[in-house]
Amino acid sequence: MEPVLELEKLCLGYNKVIYQNIFATAGEGEVVAVVGPNGIGKSTLLKSIGGMLKYHSGSIRVLSKPLGSYSTRGLAEKISFVPSQSPRARNFSLFDMIATSCYNRTNWLGTINDSDKGFIYKTLRRVGLEDFAERDSSNLSDGEFQRATIARALVQDSKIILLDEPTAFLDIENKLIITKLLKEIAHEESKCVIFSTHDLQLAIKHCDRIWIMGRESFNCGEPSSLIEQGAFDSMFKDSLLKFDPVLFTFV
Amino acid sequence: MHYLRGQIEHKVTVKRKKGYIREYVIVSISLLILLMLNLTLGSVILPLKEIFSSLFGHSTQTFVNEILWDYRIPKAITALLAGVALSVCGLQMQTLFKNPLADPFILGISSGAGLGVALFVMGFSAFGISFSGSVFMNMGIAASAWLGAFAVTLLILLVSSRLRESTSLLIFGIMLGSVTSALITLLQYFSSSSALKIFVVWTMGSFSGLTTNQIWIMSALILPGLIMSVYNIKELNILLMGEAYAKSLGVNLESTRRRILIATTLLAGSVTAFCGPIGFIGIAVPHIARMFFKNADHKVLIPATALLGAAIMVLTDTVAQLPGQSGIIPINTVSALIGVPIILLIILKSRFI
């Protein structure tokens, strides 16, 4: 099957290359975790794919077409992006917050039609927030709010969903809920979900594919084969940190 | 776990929340009452009965007709327009910059207008030309103020395409405002006392003395500004949740910013041109609207701020008339006395955006 997203010899950065030689793919119905040390450029990679940052060189192909060939609006119909920390608006109901992501389909005033209204309620049910529609979105807990931002991306109705550290700042239960939710979305709605994370164990357990942004090299593959190759050891330079293939973590 | 439930086709039976008819009615009635009060009070108190009979065309008392139609109604209309324009403008600035203390003049529009007026008034006086009280003078002040405001916006627009973040734009605007203020001070230092007085009176703000033609010009500038503001609603709601999100939705941030800026100049620039720089209303009213309507949706807030802004500005003007025969309190003094407690209340209750 044709991959949804292909990165070839991608070098990140604008004036100066900050990370180079990324070869990676992601397919329909796959959930992909991007892992790597702090500051290596995970956010930059996601933002470059989302068309929010310019990249240095190489190619990004979205649904077999180069990224540059999409208009801003055309790209928004294919890729949605969930920033690591979204500001919350006071006195803005959860429904209204999610309704904003119908932007490309609504009229000049942003009126939500009945089919989108149904779609929003269905999506709220999907992420387990169906009883919260009329609640003030700024009063949601961090875990609930993160699910709301995922619902927003789902309502945008794009093939690819990029999430910048969706599980940061969450407790272990919510980390699991979010990771499982992303997996279900990818598998059941045939989306391609790509998210950056520091939770290696959860990523290895639940993701179909992992992109490792190591200090030395970039690796892309299924978790099991990456473990066999010993690819996780390239993540950190420090020889004190060794990847344990049984515990799925660094010791 | 409940979120694992399968997809059930969701029927759209859930009733979405009420409209805000009750709130709008309350604000509209207050506006009407305040307007009547405004027409009644002044150096001469006109009884409501006389006002109604004059309004509906069968008043016998010519002096009532004269006061009402030549003086009070134009003034009330000016106050109403200014209130609507400044409040709607302040709301958009607060959303664009995600800053609860942003006001229509945060990007230096009033300082730009001020510089225009200062150049006009003090420039002419430097050449020994004096023309106090003439129509030329009134129109000249308005035109130069508008040009000053427009020049500042133009500069900001030029810069805004080079800046990625609205915060940088905010800093640029504030710096620009400081520079223009410094230039005004410099001009003041070298100008004659009579020119200085004209300038200082302009900065105090006033709704009176506008001719019918001037009111028409002011409306003709404000109306497109309001239409643009309504057109901005969709993007303003998205901007509530940050520029990164807006960008990922495919919102053209540059053109959105440009549209908001142009609407701002039309609204705040025009009011400043004809009435002087009127402070505090532009910050306070959007917060009052948020508190009263308890909704951050701009579809609700734009009409709400427009109505509330009109009501509060008419109230301000009414209070300014209270001394009766002994004169008028400058508008800016009253707007500060009304606006500042509201802003303080907001900070104390920390009901930010």
pLDDT in tens, A119-167: 999 999 999 999 999 999 999 999 999 999 999 999 999 999 999 999 9
- Average pLDDT score over residue span A217-241: 84
pLDDT in tens, A17-74: 999 999 999 999 999 999 999 999 999 999 999 999 999 999 999 999 999 999 999 9
Is residue A137 one of the residues assigned to a domain?
Answer: no
Disruptive mutation site among A96, A106, A111, A162 for chain B (greatest number of B CBs within 10 Å) = A96
Q: Interface pTM (ipTM) of the complex?
A: 0.90
Per-position DSSP letters for B202-249, written without gaps between them:
HHH---TT--HHHHHHHHHHHHHHHHHHHHTHHHHHHHTT-HHHHHHT
pLDDT in tens, A170-180: 999 999 999 99
> Cα separation of B34 and B15, whole Å?
36
- DSSP type of residue A197: -
Q: Which of B253, B91, B260 shows the shortest CA–CA distance to B163? A: B253
The per-residue pLDDT for B233 is: 96
CB contact under 8 A, A128 and B3: yes
The per-residue pLDDT for B156 is: 86
Residue of B nearest to A116 (CA): B12
The per-residue pLDDT for B31 is: 96
Of residues B92 and B212, more confidently modeled = B92
Q: How far is B38 from chain A (nearest CA, A)?
A: 34
Of residues B124 and B49, more confidently modeled = B49
The per-residue pLDDT for B16 is: 60
R_g (Cα) of chain B, nearest Å = 22
- Average pLDDT score over residue span B290-316: 94
Contacts of B291 in chain A (CB under 8 A): none
| Residues above pLDDT 70, as percent of chain B | 90
Is residue A10 one of the residues assigned to a domain?
Answer: yes
> Cα separation of B235 and A237, whole Å?
45
Residue A246, domain extent: 5-87+158-250
Indicate whether B325 pLDDT > 60.
yes
What mean pLDDT is reported for chain B? 86
Contacts of B12 in chain A (CB under 8 A): 114, 117-118, 121
Cross-chain CB nearest to A103 (options B249, B296, B351): B249
Q: Is B263 exposed, middle or buried (0-12, 13-18, 19+ CB in 10 A)?
A: buried
pLDDT in tens, B4-51: 333 444 444 455 656 789 999 999 999 999 999 999 988 888 888 888
Instruction: List, as ranges, residues 184-223 from B with C-beta within 8 Å of A.
Output: none
Pairing of strands A218-221, A31-35: unpaired
Domain of A17, CATH number, reads 3.40.50.300
The per-residue pLDDT for A239 is: 66
Residue with tokens 């500051």: A39
- DSSP type of residue A22: E
Is residue A122 one of the residues assigned to a domain?
Answer: no
Q: How far is B3 from chain A (nearest CA, A)?
A: 4
Indicate whether B1 pLDDT > 70.
no
The per-residue pLDDT for A12 is: 95
Indicate whether B69 pLDDT > 60.
yes
Evaluate whether B282 touches B316 at the Cβ level (below 8 Å). Answer: no
CB contact under 8 A, A52 and B2: no
Q: Tell me how crowded residue B201 is: count the other CB atoms within 10 A of its CB.
A: 13
Domain count of chain A?
Answer: 1
- Average pLDDT score over residue span B127-135: 62
> Cα separation of A105 and B302, whole Å?
22
Is residue A204 one of the residues assigned to a domain?
Answer: yes
The per-residue pLDDT for B2 is: 38
CB contact under 8 A, A128 and B2: yes
Residue with tokens 């801003």: A72
Can you read off the two tokens belonging to residue B86? 């400044």
Q: Label residue A37 left, alpha or beta by phi (over 0 means left) and psi (-120 to 50 means alpha).
A: beta
Is residue A151 one of the residues assigned to a domain?
Answer: no
The per-residue pLDDT for B165 is: 79
CATH architecture, domain defined by B22-349 = Orthogonal Bundle (1.10)
Cross-chain CB nearest to A181 (options B3, B294, B299): B3
pLDDT in tens, A185-211: 999 999 999 999 999 999 999 999 999
State CA B242 to chain mean position distance: 25
Q: Which of A159, A145, A154 shows the shortest CA–CA distance to A192? A: A159
